[in-house]
Amino acid sequence: MADQRLEEYRAYYDARTERYANNPLTKHSYEAEKKLRDLFYRYDNLDEIGQNMGRLNTDCAFAVTRDQYEMESEYYESVQEPIRKKGADQILAELDRKTELLDMMNMVNDQTNKNGVEVSADEASGKALMENWKQLDEIEVYTNAVVPARYKANMQKVIDEAKKSIIESRDSEEKTIGDWVEGWHMKPELTREYRFRHVMPYSDEEIEEHLKKFKNIINR
């Protein structure tokens, strides 16, 4: 007859397995946890269970990781986030090449950090227009303002300062991202991509007008 400690283990692994049951998003975790749970019912002795454990615990960790990044890949595809999806897909591609838990964890950390840089570079380009929209509007207003001649110098100073701010912002982003991605330059046209365009409360015509002015100022 199984001792009390074994019964507690069985209850614990029953609960772990049921957590993933009947969910297509956690199918790998369920299968791995079920194999581990079944081991505790195959033997009535904890020593025998330990001797036959093999890599079942490790397989559970790999399965949870696979489920997580399959979910991320599917989600990012659905919201048209190709750069973030790329990060999940890279982890899934590398996962089959790993067998040891520590190697897998290090790989996930490395790929996550690498993709974080890719996302930062992508967003630095895609969000640049929106972040400089106010300055672009300011330039347009002061350029087209009809004022007495004595105010024109002050108006031009405001225009020059706004352009300087935009260029400094470009330089700062290219320096920061360039420290991580050699030769990186801002690509403001990425603002047209869905992942950036859908949060901008402006018409396509307004965006194209501002984008043209922005690219002329930053020479990109």
Query: Residue type for 133, please?
Result: W
Indicate if 193 and 103 belong to the same structural domain.
no
Tokens of 65: 């990781």
Please identify which residue in the block is written with the tokens 């960790």.
61
Per the structure, the count of domains in the chain is: 2
Mean pLDDT of the chain: 95
DSSP code per residue over 170-205: HHHHHHHHHTTSTT----GGGGGSHHHHTT--S-HH
Domain match, 101 and 143 both: no
Which tokens sit at 80? 């048209």
Residue 151: band (very low, low, confident or very high) from pLDDT cuts 50, 70, 90:
confident
Whether residue 2 has pLDDT greater than 70 = no
User: Is 117 in the same domain as 146?
Assistant: no
Predicted pLDDT of residue 181: 92
Query: What mean pLDDT comes out for the span 161-173?
Result: 94
> DSSP per residue over 125-182, as a string?
HHTHHHHTHHHHHHHHHHHH----HHHHHHHHHHHHHHHHHHHHHHHHHHHHHHTTST
88 and 141 co-located in one domain: no
pLDDT of residue 140: 94
Q: Which of 67, 99, 123 is the last residue of a domain?
A: 123
Q: What is the pLDDT of residues 55-94, one digit of tens each?
A: 999 999 999 999 999 999 999 999 999 999 999 999 999 9
pLDDT at 219 over 80: yes
Alpha-carbon gap, residue 71 to 89, rounded angstroms = 10
Tell which of 123, 151, 172 closes a domain: 123
Q: 132, 150, 152: which is closest to 142 by C-alpha?
A: 152
Give mean pLDDT, residues 116-137: 96
Residue 40 shares a structural domain with residue 107? yes
Under 8 Å between Cβ of 46 and 6? yes
- Nearest residue to 81 (alpha-carbon basis) of 214, 181, 190, 185: 190
84 token code pair: 């973030």
> Which residue in this structure is represented by tokens 């043209």?
212
Domain edge (last residue) among 72, 100, 123: 123
**Amino acid sitting at position 139:** I
Considering only CA atoms, which of 118, 109, 108 is closest in space to residue 84? 118
Please give the average per-residue pLDDT across 168-196, as a whole number.
94
C-alpha 96/C-alpha 110 separation (Å) is 16
> How far from 69 is each of 63, 84, 95, 101, 118, CA to CA, in Å?
10, 11, 10, 16, 17
Residues 84 and 11 grouped into a single domain = yes
Quote the tokens at residue 50: 């330990």
Q: Which domain holds residue 27?
A: 4-123
Q: Residues 136, 158: one domain?
A: yes
Q: Is a pLDDT exceeding 90 seen at residue 1?
A: no
Count of Cβ atoms closer than 10 Å to residue 17 Cβ: 20
Same domain for 49 and 138, yes or no, is no
For the entire predicted model, the pTM comes to: 0.88
d(CA 29, CA 34): 8
What stretch of H or E contains 96? none
pLDDT of residue 43: 93
